Structure formats: structure tokens, C-alpha cells
Chains A and B, each alone.
Chain A
Amino acid sequence: MSDIIVDVRNLTKQYGRQLALEDVSFRIKQGSIVGLIGPNGAGKTTIMKIMGGLAFPTDGALTMYGASDEKGLNHARTRMSFMIETPYEKERMTAKENLEKQRLQKGIPDKSRVDEVLKLVNLENTGKKIVKNFSLGMRQRLGLANALMGKPEFMVLDEPINGLDPEGIVEIRELLRKLNREENVTMVISSHILSELSLLCTDYIFINHGRIKGVFTAEELKQACSEFYHIDTDNNEKAGAILLRECSVQRLETMEDGSLRIYDGLDRIHDISKTLYENGIIPVELSRNEVNLEDYYMRMVRE
């Protein structure tokens, strides 16, 4: 079990009367990239803040690198880095000055690390431009640079590609992938750009209304996001019954508009359509589709 570096158990956080997290439990393995997925106000940032020490849980336990007391957690945080919400920087200082401040604060002896990190995030040419005049994308890059300063073993990134242009998104994605692959950096990333997450993550945590809706590995999610046939007929209710009874379909789902989805027996679609026809059902639409991460997310959120 030594590869588990974060163990969250029954975490609850209450802000006044508002319950931000309720009985949240999950684990994070060394070297994984975990996508934290949920709509606004789901509790993603609260989880990250508790991991970062910016907020305290009302109940439950957080263990990071084997430590669960405050002193131990603070020590664990020296091995981690965080970029939570909009990065807050000294607005009247340049990118280099902000990173130098972080270098001093973290006690990093190597002065060249500042230039190194600026280059990594493509901010080396910002010169004397103060952060106040930075675009959102540049601020995101600076936030990421801050997170990279201490050569962390574990990064917690809240919306790291928010505000970046497509080229920037690719650059940051490649950078994160490289850090994970070459330096075994573990990551927790929250993002609304689910297609981006699907290109990076090895594990997923779905959260809504402060509750965990599902924890999956990429493989499990791939299976869940399987292919299906979308069937719409002149009598969907009867068609559903026939599919279950006569076609041995195991996984059938009725959609909001009444149409049907079947996830198994895809290789027998000719037999299925024939059976429906023989029972007097006229298919209006019969198409092969795939549930992508966004569809799956929407389903989880609606539940």
C-alpha cells in the first residue's frame, strides 16, 4: 500500500450551514494523474484547499505521505505544489520577481531555478512587464511556474489550462505529461475541459453536490464510456420490452426523450432490428455511437 500517497477518508466540510463536502473518500496512487471532475460548486476546490491546508475539514481524515497530523501534513506539503483557483501573485511585480519571492519563501538555494521555470512555461520574455498587465493565460502560466518552482513530487492543479489559447493548452499538456512520465510527478487536476483531461488522466474522481459520484481508472471509464446503439422507434416502450425479452439485451437505457440505448449485443444488430420489425415495431433511427467523457459526466451530474 506504500504507493498510496493521499488517503482521504469520510471528509466533510461545512461552511456555516452550507455543506461543501459530505463523506468524501478516495485514494491517490504515486505516479497517477487524477482528474477531479464536477460542475461549479461541486466541492472540487474545497478538496484541493483542504489538501493544501487553506481550509480545515469539519470531519474525516486526510493522510498525505503517511502523515495525518498538522505538523506531518505541513511537512508533506513541502513535497507538493498547488495552483488553486486564479493564481494570486504580487500584481506590481514582474513574473521573475514573483518567482524569486517564491524561491526565497520555499528556501530553494538554486537561483537559476527561476529562469529555468520561466522558460518551461514560456514566460522568459516578459521582461519588466508587471503581473497586473498580464493576460489570463499568462497568469495561468505564472501560476503553473510557481507550482513548478520547488520540483514537486505531487502537484494539485485547479483549472490549469483555463484561459490558455489552443497552442498554450497543448504546451501545458505536454509539460504535465513529461513531468509525469519522466519525473513520476503525481497530479490532481480539475478542469472543465473534459476532452483535455481524457488525454492526460490515469484516474478520475466524479464529484457533485459535495459527494463522490464515482472513482474510476482510465480503463474502467473507457469501458463505461463504451459504444452503444441508439434506437428510436414508433413504440419505444414495447421495443424496450422486446429487446430485453427476445434479444437477450442486458444493458438497456431509456433516454429522456424516450429513445433507447443498448450497450451489449452490438454485433447482433441485424438480428435485433429484424426481431423488432417482426414484432411490428418500426425503427425510426438506428445508429452506432460512443459515450464520451462529457456524456458520461453529464449523466453522473444528473444522477
Chain B
Amino acid sequence: MINIIKSLNYSARREASNWITIASILVIPLVGMYLMGMIRGDSLQKVTPSFYFATQMMGIIFMITCLGIIILACNLVAGDGGDKTMNYEILSGHSRNRIFAARMLAGFLWGGVSVFLLTLLPLGYLTLAYGWGLETNPREVLLRSLLAFFPILRLCIFHMMIASIMRSAGKGIAVGYVAYMVITLGTSALEELFGMDIIYQTGMTNAAFLLTSGNSRNVVMDGRTVALYDTRVTSDMIKNTIGVSLAFSALYLIIAYINFKKKDRD
């Protein structure tokens, strides 16, 4: 299995669209910070990680960068669907189960883990540059960020399932994008029109919820008035996030596996 992952990794590193996607995920937060600085009339130096999280920027940027999950996951799982290079894996004596597991794992490493780490990256470099800041509790923000791994896993496996069924990265990305738009617009509409609270129903809303702070209150610190944001992590939040994400991930994997086993690649 490790050999298949190595081989997929080798070709993924030679795929320009993967690197463009990763570069975009790196650049988008910087652009967001720059625009935020312009709007506020402040310099970029004042965007601390705490401020980055408190102003919902992390959640909003995740909503954009999670498109990267779609591209990377689809490219890895079905990027060679047209070339049928999966045939070579079968012909080399790898079992179908191992091929499935290897492709899913490689897709998750590129689509899920990389986007998760890239999402957390601004917190890291902003902390190194400016320190944490005052608006949020760093431990709570870190816990929320780590919890976001689970809905990202769910989101990634959902898109890998689509790509696997479509047998084409392009079609997988197109269908994934439509699903993304439907979820984004549908969620907003349901929340606005019916006052529904949609959090755990989709991986994207779950992750965005975790990466967004709650209400704020003003306190005076060192003679300065500072807005403190609610970033508490409740046990329900942990249980629901992990439980629902794993359950849906398992469901998507089962669907993808059944489809994979059912369809002979001839």
C-alpha cells in the first residue's frame, strides 16, 4: 500500500494545479489580512492571531480555502481516471482493497491534512511575528482549530467519494463545487428565512463554526478597552463534532468502497 501512496505522491507533486491550489491557500489569508488592515485603516502589523480569529477572518477564509480540499482530493483520487493508470496498480498484483485504501489515504493527505495545516498556518506565523494578542484565549482557539480536523476529514472524504464515483477529477471538482455552492447558499437561506441553526449537518458549516468566535464583551486591560470574544469549547461541541464527522466519514467511505468494488475497471 505504501508503494501506491509513494507513486501517487510522485505524480501529485508533478501536477501544477495541486501547487497552484496550495499557493492560493497560502496567499488568500495574506490578502485577507491586507484588506482587513486597509478597511480598518491600520497597518498589517496589528493583525495578531487572536485578532485574526476574533474578527471571523479565519472562518471566512476557510470557507474559501476549503475549495482547495475539493481540487486536491479529486486530483489525487481520480486525477488519473482518464489515463486508467489504476490498471497498472491492479496488474502489479496490488489487491483492490489496498488500492482503494492507498488512494483514499493519499487523497486525504493531500486534500485533508494539507488544507488543515495550511488553515492553521496563519496562527503560527502571526504568533511568531506579533505574539498572540488579547481578544481570544489561545488554548481555546487552538482546541477549536484542532477539532476542525474532523469536519475537514469529513469534507475531504465526501469529495473523494464524489471523485471516485465520477472517475474523473474534473467532473468531481465540478460536482463538488456545485455541492459547495448549494451548501453555502442553502445554509444561509435556511438560517435567514427559518432561523435554523445549521452546524453539524455539513462538514463545512461544522468547520466554519469551530473556526469562528462567539459574542464579545468589552473589558479594560492595562488601561485599554479590549473586546474579549467567546471561544469556549463545550463538551457537546467536542462530542458532536467528532461523532458526527466520523459517522459521516465512515458512511462516505462505505459508499465509495461499494462503488469501487462494484465497477470493474474494464
Contacts and interface: CB of A to CB of B under 8 A. Distances in A.
Nearest to B80: A90
Contacts of B165: none
A11 B90 CA distance: 20
Interface residues of B, number: 25
Given A76-B93, A82-B91, A100-B10, A105 B264 contact: no
B14 A97 contact: yes
A215 B66 CA distance: 59
Interface in A35-56: 49, 52-56
B184 to A, nearest CB: 32
B265 interface: yes
B236 interface: no
Interface string B87-120: 1111111110000000000000000000000000
B139 interface: no
Nearest to A149: B92
Contact of B84 (A55, A56, A88): A88
A88 B82 CA distance: 9
Contacts of B4: 105
A184 interface: no
A41 to B, nearest CB: 14
Nearest to A71: B95
A47 to B, nearest CB: 12
Interface in A52-89: 52-56, 70-71, 74-78, 80-82, 84, 88-89
A77 B10 contact: no
A106 B264 contact: no
B88 A49 contact: no
A53 B82 CA distance: 19
A290 to B, nearest CB: 39
Contacts of A56: 264
Given A54-B264, A54-B266, A104 B7 contact: yes
B83 A52 contact: no
B85 interface: yes
A3 B127 CA distance: 69
A54 B93 contact: no
B3 A105 contact: yes
A150 B6 contact: no
Given A55-B264, A55-B266, A90-B11, A105 B89 contact: yes
A84 B85 CA distance: 12
Contacts of A249: none
A102 B88 contact: yes
A84 B95 contact: no
A93 interface: yes
Contacts of B89: 105
Interface string B222-266: 000000000000000000000000000000000000000000111
28 contacts: A52-B90, A52-B91, A54-B87, A54-B91, A55-B264, A56-B264, A76-B93, A77-B92, A77-B93, A82-B91, A84-B87, A88-B85, A89-B85, A90-B80, A90-B83, A91-B82, A91-B83, A101-B10, A101-B85, A102-B7, A104-B6, A104-B7, A105-B4, A105-B7, A105-B89, A105-B92, A106-B92, A146-B88
